Structure 1
Amino acid sequence: MHALWIVRRDGVPMSKTVAKAVLVLDTLAEGPRTASELARGLGVHSSTAMRMLQPLVESGLLARGSDGRYRLGLRLAELGQQVLEGIDLRSVARPHLVALAEATRATVHLSQLVDDRIVYVDKIEGAATIRTWSRIGRSVPLHTSAAAKVILAALSPEHRRRLLAGHTFTRYTEHTITDPSRLDDCIAEAARRGYATDEAEFEPLVHCIGIGIPDINGRVGAAVSLTTVRGALDAAEVRRLVPHVRNTASAIAADLGHQSH
């Protein structure tokens, strides 16, 4: 029997089996599904869907929960990390981060959404003598970080709820946001103005401005943030610093292939 093929947008043929497997992965990226739900989305019988799903489960690309629903497997996280290392956002962004740190004498971070965590992937220490808690590879606190807020603001509501599901709103300072509805307001505000702030919410005296970095498809899964150490970050200073951070984010996005309109 001859294999059936379809043509991708770039003109390269792709087998229908592979195309359906990709559709399964894209569907499950939005949330768990039952075999019947996946079968309907694929336009195939449930038994056909099961035959397709089984090798994906065995390879670790998918996992089946106790409720019978399928979700993305941990193997995808491993492969995703390898892809990130191959694309190497960090090496693309680093010269821009260094330039921002030198221009502002502030500490600069690069954060990225990896699987269901937002992590620090690079850090350029500024001229301040106080060192911050952040470390490369460490998870970004979702309810305090400017970078996390601006990335969360760019996600679909469902994806955002999944990341925040079960999140503990630990109080770190007197300014920490501990009310989920207040965080929702901050995320909405970040979406409206195009940047987010951390006003001494995780560490006393530490203030941050974060701006998202769109990829070649316009999706925001990373952010650059500027960290200053001082008693307060007033409105005038925010207006002065935001363009520096925005220009850096735009330059990184351009190097990643994003075309602004």
Structure 2
Amino acid sequence: MRMSKTVAKAVHVLEVLADGPRGIAELSRELGVHHSTALRMLQPLVDGGLIARGPEGRYRLGLRMVEFGQQVLEEMDLRVIARPHLLALAESARATAHLVQLVDDRVVYLDKIEGSSIRTWSRIGREVSLHTSAAGKAILAAMPAEQAERLLAGHEFRRFTDRTITDPAAFRAHLREVARDGYATDRAEFESLVHCIGTAVPGLPAAVSITLVRTGTDEPDPSALLDEVSATAAAVAADLGSAIG
């Protein structure tokens, strides 16, 4: 079923505001509508608590969105079970740990634990770049080939850095290496200073990864954390199996 135009516009507003507060002029430009039309689009969302207008006149996501998001996250058993393991991994590695999952043909960040003072682009609920992320590659390499091909069929192999793999054939060959090795890396393929390593959670379309950020001239070596990341993924799978059983 196709989304109605009204709902699609409302979703667009929420997506724009998810990247930060906007004034009415900015929103009008991004939505491609006149100021008065934008105001009419925003008012029902304000009335419903989904967005809020600050004293400076800029709109932001409302507290009701936080309530909805928290409810969704609480219902995701994988996130609840994995969190203690992610916390331990982030503390041990002193780096940012991620839990990533395939949800409705989209690979998204399910959880994130900041293990350093350096903030990264990733955010809970945000879609993962399949061809540049360690976690995305790990999930693709672990799933049945037919399913991986379906996800890659319409994928845009966009270049983010000079290390991004943009050739579909080269990327598929890279995935075969990931499947053989049992882990995936992102060596400055999405952000020039960011290096990651990830492994699939056994038996699930999910992965655990750790992110290191280069602060000097030497590149960090995420492969040194492979054993910890693999052990975390295995522990998550074991705990989830125990909970289900």
Using structure 1 for the length normalisation, give the TM-score.
Answer: 0.62
Q: Which residue of 2 aligns with 1:225?
A: 209
Q: Which residue of 1 aligns with 2:101?
A: 112
The residue matched to 1:138 in structure 2 has which SS?
coil
Q: Which residue of 1 aligns with 2:168?
A: 180
The separation in 1 between residues aligned to 2:142 and 2:191, in whole angstroms, is 25
1:173-252 alignment, distance < 5 Å:
173-214=161-202, 219-230=203-214, 231-234=218-221, 238=223, 240-252=224-236
Would you say the 8 A contact 2:74–2:80 is kept in 1?
A: no
The Cα shift of 1:85 comes to 5.4
Would you say the 8 A contact 1:199–1:233 is kept in 2?
A: no
Counterpart amino acid of residue 225 in structure 2: L
Larger Rg: 1
The separation in 1 between residues aligned to 2:125 and 2:165, in whole angstroms, is 23
Residue among 59, 81, 84 paired with 1:92: 81
The separation in 1 between residues aligned to 2:72 and 2:119, in whole angstroms, is 31
The Cα shift of 1:233 comes to 3.6
The separation in 2 between residues aligned to 1:87 and 1:227, in whole angstroms, is 23
The separation in 1 between residues aligned to 2:73 and 2:105, in whole angstroms, is 15
Instruction: State the number of aligned residues.
Output: 169
The separation in 2 between residues aligned to 1:233 and 1:220, in whole angstroms, is 29
1:155 aligns with 2:139: no
The separation in 2 between residues aligned to 1:220 and 1:191, in whole angstroms, is 15
Runs of 4+ that moved beyond 6 A: none
The Cα shift of 1:155 comes to 1.4
Would you say the 8 A contact 2:85–2:236 is kept in 1?
A: yes
The separation in 2 between residues aligned to 1:185 and 1:83, in whole angstroms, is 36
The Cα shift of 1:84 comes to 8.1
The Cα shift of 1:222 comes to 0.4
Residue among 146, 158, 171 paired with 2:134: 146
The Cα shift of 1:183 comes to 1.1
Would you say the 8 A contact 1:109–1:122 is kept in 2?
A: yes
Would you say the 8 A contact 2:86–2:97 is kept in 1?
A: yes
The residue matched to 1:256 in structure 2 has which SS?
helix
